[in-house]
C-alpha cells in the first residue's frame, strides 16, 4: 500500500449495484457533479479523483435501512482511496471530503463508515497529552484499574453539597472523580465556585492522606474562550483533569483546547449513539475514536459489560480494543473508561474479554447506591477486580468479600447477564 492515500472503508446498501454506488461516491466526493463539465479533464481526474479499490459483496438485507425503497437491498464493503494531496491532514477536510456528501447520495439506502486508514502524515496531530501512562502517573495508580466515581445525583447539588459528596468519595478510597457530563455551569452551581469548593476538598484530602484524587471538571462550553477560562481556573486551583463533551463542542473546540491544555482530557461521547446505533448507518466507533484521539483525547468513555444503555457487550469489547490499539504509536492510545451501570460484578467478564487492567473503572450508582455506603461500594469494586485478575469466579470472590456479596445481592440479578 502506498503511504500517500487516505483509505475509507464503507458499508454500502443499495437496491442497485453496490460497485456502481461506490464509483458514484468516489466521483461525487472528488471532481464530479451532476452533469459533464468542460474543465473535468482526464488528466485532472487521474491526479485528484478518489478511486474504488475493493468492493466485497455481503449478504443482501430484507429491508432498506433508510426507508426509501422496497426491500431486499444489496450490501457490500467498499474501500475508497482518496489522494492525500487532495485533502491534506486537516481533520475538518478529512471529514468533509470523505464523509460530508456520502450520506446524501441518492440511490443508497444505507451507508456506514467502518474505518479510516490514515497515512503517516496524520501523525502531525497532537494526540493524547497524557493517555494511559499519564493517567497512571497523575493518579499514582501504578497497577490495576483506576477506580473512579461520579457525582450523584448528577444535577441539582450546590457547590457545597457537591463538595460534601466529593469528600465522601475521597474517604471511600476512589482514585478519580468526575462531574456528570451534564454538569457544566448551571445557575445553581456555577463552574468557578463549584470547582473551588471541590478542589479545597481534593487538596485537603491530599494533605491529610498523601493521596491526590484526580477530579475531572465539566469545562465544556460551545465558546472555546469560555472553555479555556474554565480550564485555567481548574489549573489555578491545582486540578489536573476535565470532562469534555466532544460531540457538543466539536472538532474545533477540541483542537483549540488541546493546544492550550494542561489537563488530562476525559472524553464523554454523548450524542454518539445517534451516529452509530443503527447497524447499517453512520459510523463504527473505530473511525470515530481515531479522529478524537488524534485531536487529543486522553481518556475515552466506552460503556462496559451489561451497560445501562443499548450498547451490546460485544460492541464494548471492540471499543476497548479500538482505543488501546496504536494508530501511529503507543503514545496515541487512550485510557479506556469502562462505565455505565458498573458496580463490580462486571469486572469478571470485563477481564475475561479484554485480559487487561489498564483501564479506568467508573462506578456511579454502584458506589453511591451500595447498601453499605460508598466506602463499601469502592471495596466491592476493588475486591471484584482483584478476584477477577486472579482468575477467581464470582462465587469465590463473594465468599471472600462481604461488600461484593452485598453488591451482587442488590444488582446481580438485573445486570449479571
Contacts with a second copy in 370-409 (CB under 8 A)? Answer: none
Pairwise CA distance, residues 327 & 286, whole Å: 11
Q: Indicate whether 40 belongs to the interface with a second copy (CB under 8 A).
A: yes
Rule CB under 8 A: choose which of 176, 288, 351, 411 binds a second copy.
Answer: 411
Q: With respect to a second copy, which residue has the nearer C-beta, 139 or 261?
A: 261
- Residues 135-174, interacting with a second copy (CB under 8 A): 152-157, 161, 165
Give the residue from 142, 135, 145, 128 showing the smallest Cα distance to 354.
145
Tell me the closest approach of the beta carbon of residue 48 to a second copy, in angstroms.
Answer: 4
Q: With respect to a second copy, which residue has the nearer C-beta, 47 or 352?
A: 47
Rule CB under 8 A: choose which of 57, 72, 262, 278 binds a second copy.
Answer: 278
Pairwise CA distance, residues 32 & 186, whole Å: 48
Pairwise CA distance, residues 27 & 51, whole Å: 8
Give the residue from 325, 349, 323, 326 showing the smallest Cα distance to 337.
323
Q: With respect to a second copy, which residue has the nearer C-beta, 227 or 376?
A: 227
355 with 349: CB under 8 angstroms?
no
Q: With respect to a second copy, which residue has the nearer C-beta, 87 or 347?
A: 87
Residues in contact with a second copy, counted by CB under 8 A, come to a total of 101
CB-based contacts of 80: which residues, under 8 Å, 6+ apart? 7, 8, 10, 22, 25, 26, 29, 50, 51, 52, 53, 98
- Residues 50-89, interacting with a second copy (CB under 8 A): 63, 65-68, 84-88
CB-based contacts of 216: which residues, under 8 Å, 6+ apart? 176, 177, 178, 179, 241, 242, 243, 264, 266, 299
- DSSP letter at 271? T
Region of 337 please: left (phi>0), alpha (psi -120 to 50) or beta. beta
Give the residue from 406, 376, 316 showing the smallest Cα distance to 352.
316
Q: With respect to a second copy, which residue has the nearer C-beta, 124 or 262?
A: 124
Give the residue from 170, 163, 164, 179 showing the smallest Cα distance to 211.
170
Q: Indicate whether 106 belongs to the interface with a second copy (CB under 8 A).
A: yes
Q: With respect to a second copy, which residue has the nearer C-beta, 65 or 324?
A: 65
In residues, how long is the chain? 417
Q: Indicate whether 117 belongs to the interface with a second copy (CB under 8 A).
A: no
Rule CB under 8 A: choose which of 9, 14, 31, 301 binds a second copy.
Answer: 31
The dihedral through the CA atoms of 269, 162, 379, 204 has a sign that is positive
Show the binding pattern over residues 318-357: x = contacts a second copy (CB under 8 A), - = does not: -----------------------x----------------
- Residues 220-239, interacting with a second copy (CB under 8 A): 220-227
Q: Indicate whether 34 belongs to the interface with a second copy (CB under 8 A).
A: yes
Q: With respect to a second copy, which residue has the nearer C-beta, 132 or 166?
A: 166
Tell me the closest approach of the beta carbon of residue 118 to a second copy, in angstroms.
Answer: 14
Please report how the helices 159-172 and 374-389 are oriented relative to each other, as an axis angle in degrees rounded to 10. 40
Tell me the closest approach of the beta carbon of residue 340 to a second copy, in angstroms.
Answer: 8
What is the CB neighbour count within 10 angstroms for residue 143?
Answer: 8
Structural element, H or E, at residue 388: helix 374-389
Rule CB under 8 A: choose which of 55, 201, 295, 323 binds a second copy.
Answer: 295
Q: With respect to a second copy, which residue has the nearer C-beta, 161 or 232?
A: 161
Span from 10-18, 100-108, 380-388, 390-398 in contact with a second copy (CB under 8 A): 100-108
Q: Indicate whether 277 belongs to the interface with a second copy (CB under 8 A).
A: yes
| 81 CA to centre of own chain | 26
Tell me the closest approach of the beta carbon of residue 145 to a second copy, in angstroms.
Answer: 20
Rule CB under 8 A: choose which of 97, 198, 213, 384 binds a second copy.
Answer: 97
Show the binding pattern over residues 182-221: x = contacts a second copy (CB under 8 A), - = does not: x-xxxxx-------------------------------xx
Pairwise CA distance, residues 267 & 300, whole Å: 5
Tell me the closest approach of the beta carbon of residue 14 to a second copy, in angstroms.
Answer: 12
Rule CB under 8 A: choose which of 54, 57, 96, 204 binds a second copy.
Answer: 96
Cα 402 to Cα 207, 345, 382, 405, distances in angstroms: 31, 13, 12, 5
Amino acid at each position: 500500500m502506498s503511504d500517500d492515500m487516505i483509505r475509507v472503508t464503507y458499508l454500502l446498501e443499495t437496491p442497485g449495484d453496490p460497485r456502481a454506488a461506490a464509483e458514484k461516491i468516489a466521483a461525487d466526493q472528488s471532481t464530479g457533479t451532476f452533469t459533464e463539465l468542460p474543465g473535468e479533464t482526464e488528466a485532472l481526474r487521474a491526479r485528484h479523483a478518489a478511486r474504488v479499490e475493493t468492493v466485497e459483496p455481503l449478504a443482501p438485507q430484507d429491508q432498506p435501512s433508510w426507508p426509501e425503497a422496497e426491500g431486499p437491498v444489496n450490501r457490500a464493503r467498499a474501500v475508497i482511496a482518496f489522494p492525500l494531496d487532495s485533502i491534506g491532514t486537516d481533520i475538518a477536510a478529512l471529514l468533509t471530503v470523505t464523509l460530508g456528501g456520502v450520506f446524501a447520495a441518492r440511490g443508497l439506502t444505507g451507508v456506514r463508515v467502518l474505518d479510516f486508514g490514515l497515512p503517516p502524515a496524520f501523525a502531525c496531530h497532537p494526540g493524547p497529552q497524557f493517555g494511559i501512562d499519564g493517567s497512571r502517573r497523575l493518579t499514582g495508580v501504578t497497577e490495576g484499574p483506576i477506580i473512579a466515581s461520579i457525582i450523584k445525583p448528577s444535577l441539582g447539588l450546590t457547590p457545597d453539597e457537591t463538595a460534601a459528596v466529593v469528600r465522601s468519595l475521597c474517604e471511600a478510597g476512589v482514585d478519580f472523580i468526575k462531574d456528570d457530563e451534564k454538569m457544566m455551569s448551571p445557575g445553581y452551581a456555577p463552574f468557578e465556585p463549584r470547582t473551588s469548593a471541590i478542589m479545597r476538598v481534593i487538596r485537603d484530602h491530599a494533605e491529610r492522606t498523601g493521596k491526590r484524587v484526580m477530579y475531572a471538571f465539566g469545562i465544556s462550553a460551545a465558546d472555546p474562550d469560555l472553555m479555556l477560562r474554565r480550564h485555567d481556573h481548574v489549573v489555578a486551583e491545582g486540578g489536573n483533569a476535565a470532562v469534555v463533551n466532544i460531540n457538543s463542542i466539536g472538532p474545533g473546540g477540541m483542537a483549540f483546547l488541546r493546544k492550550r491544555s494542561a489537563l488530562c482530557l476525559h472524553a464523554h461521547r454523548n450524542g454518539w449513539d445517534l451516529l452509530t446505533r443503527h447497524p447499517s448507518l453512520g459510523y463504527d466507533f473505530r473511525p470515530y475514536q481515531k479522529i478524537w484521539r488524534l485531536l487529543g483525547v486522553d481518556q475515552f468513555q466506552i460503556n462496559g459489560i451489561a451497560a445501562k444503555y443499548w450498547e451490546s457487550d460485544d460492541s464494548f469489547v471492540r471499543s476497548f480494543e479500538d482505543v488501546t490499539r496504536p494508530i501511529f504509536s503507543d503514545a496515541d492510545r487512550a485510557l479506556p473508561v469502562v462505565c455505565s451501570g458498573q458496580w463490580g460484578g462486571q469486572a469478571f467478564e470485563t477481564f475475561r474479554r479484554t485480559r487487561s487492567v489498564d483501564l479506568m473503572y467508573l462506578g456511579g450508582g454502584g458506589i453511591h447506591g451500595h447498601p453499605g455506603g460508598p466506602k463499601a461500594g469502592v471495596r466491592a469494586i476493588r475486591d471484584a477486580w482483584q478476584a477477577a485478575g486472579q482468575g477467581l469466579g464470582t462465587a469465590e470472590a463473594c465468599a471472600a468479600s462481604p461488600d461484593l456479596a452485598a453488591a451482587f445481592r442488590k444488582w446481580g440479578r438485573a445486570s449479571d447477564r
